[in-house]
Amino acid sequence: MKYRIEGEPFPVVHCELAAGEKMITESGGMSWMSTNMKMETTSNGGAGKAFGRMFSGESLFQNVYTAEGGPGEISFASSFPGSILAIQITPDKPIIVQKRAFLACEPTVEMSVFFQRKFGAGLFGGEGFIMQKLTGNGTAFIEIDGHAVEYDLKAGEEKILATGYLAMMEATCTMDIVSVAGLKNKLLGGEGFFNTIVKGPGRIIVQTMPASKLAVALGVGQST
């Protein structure tokens, strides 16, 4: 599979497939394709995995697209202003991403639900109790809100993020919440009561315009 990503702020990824190659996307994720691409709708793992995907913000069913009779091309467009990233998944480096981040992947990659172990991180961290976990061995495409900024955290190194800014982390990282210091800072600082703290080792990706922040900005703009 070859691919190219183009366009801002609504990017699209074009995937060029050899005969017999497949791509998987959530229901309704395909934007356009060549005429020899065959679609098959599947629960892709049975009812348990289908409901797990639903809880993580995706559809119950997924679509499998196969290039039949020769090379084919299929394109997946972003549903939100931001970036599309190609992430190489390996068995030793699964990743955790925000809900609804999954766009498409090779069939050797599996998307499942990921539950936050720590109650505080899920309740106050802004990323929620439920995220998405990508495992396997292949390329996956994910959507990022705004521009993506990448950090490689060393063992024990920490990064403090405002609510909603964590887009992706390797499964070796851990996430928790930390209270904003000082009552005046909490009430008047405009950053809320809690921040997210991510601890290495592992790679993280931060997004510059979370959907929740954009919704607030658009709301303010409409009221003025």
Mean pLDDT throughout 29-50? 80
Listed range (62-66, 109-113, 136-140) with the worst mean pLDDT: 109-113
Q: For residues 41 and 26, what is the distance between their CA atoms, to the nearest angstrom? A: 9
When mean pLDDT is compared across 33-42, 80-89, 193-202, 207-216, the lowest value belongs to: 207-216
% of the chain residues with pLDDT over 90: 56
Q: How many whole angstroms separate alpha carbon 14 and alpha carbon 104? A: 11
pLDDT tens profile 74-113:
999 998 899 999 999 999 999 999 988 999 999 999 988 8
Among 11-25, 49-63, 170-184, top mean pLDDT goes to 11-25
CB proximity list for 117: less than 8 A, separation 6 or greater: none
Q: What is the pLDDT of residue 125?
A: 45
Q: How confident is the model at residue 118 (pLDDT cuts 50, 70, 90)?
A: low
User: Is 90 exceeded by the pLDDT of residue 188?
Assistant: no
Question: What superfamily does domain 2-208 belong to in CATH?
Answer: Mitochondrial biogenesis AIM24 (3.60.160.10)
Sequence-ordered list of residues with C-beta below 8 angstroms from that of 161, at least 6 positions apart, any chain: 195, 196, 197, 198, 206
What pLDDT score was predicted for residue 61? 81
User: Average of pLDDT values for 130-142?
Assistant: 94
Whole-Å CA distances, 177 to 86, 144, 160, 167: 28, 22, 9, 16
Tokens of 43: 């629960």
Model confidence over 192-203: pLDDT tens digits? Answer: 567 889 999 999
Tell me how far CA of residue 18 lies from CA of 1, 24, 65, 66, in angstroms: 7, 15, 12, 9
pLDDT of residue 112: 85
Q: Which residue, chain included where needed, has tokens 């190489």? A: 88
Mean confidence (pLDDT) of the chain: 82
Nearest to residue 50, comparing CAs of 31, 63, 37, 40? 63
pLDDT at 191 over 70: no
CA distance linking residue 182 with residue 163, whole number of Å = 18
The tokens for 164 are: 């909603």
Q: Where is pLDDT greater, at 38 or 80?
A: 38
Q: What CA–CA distance (Å, rounded) separates 49 from 131? A: 14
- Token digits of residue 151: 């950090």
pTM, full prediction? 0.82
**Overall residue count recorded for the chain in this entry:** 224
Helix (H, G, I), strand (E, B) or coil at 37: strand
Mean pLDDT of the region 60-83: 93
DSSP H helices, the chain, are 47-55, 119-124, 183-188, 211-223
Residue ranges of the domains in the chain? 2-208
Bridge partners, residue 24, by sequence: 64, 105
Residue 122 main-chain phi, psi, to 5 deg: -75, -35
Query: For residue 83, what are the contacts with CB-CB under 8 A and spacing of at least 6?
Result: 8, 11, 143, 144, 146, 147, 148
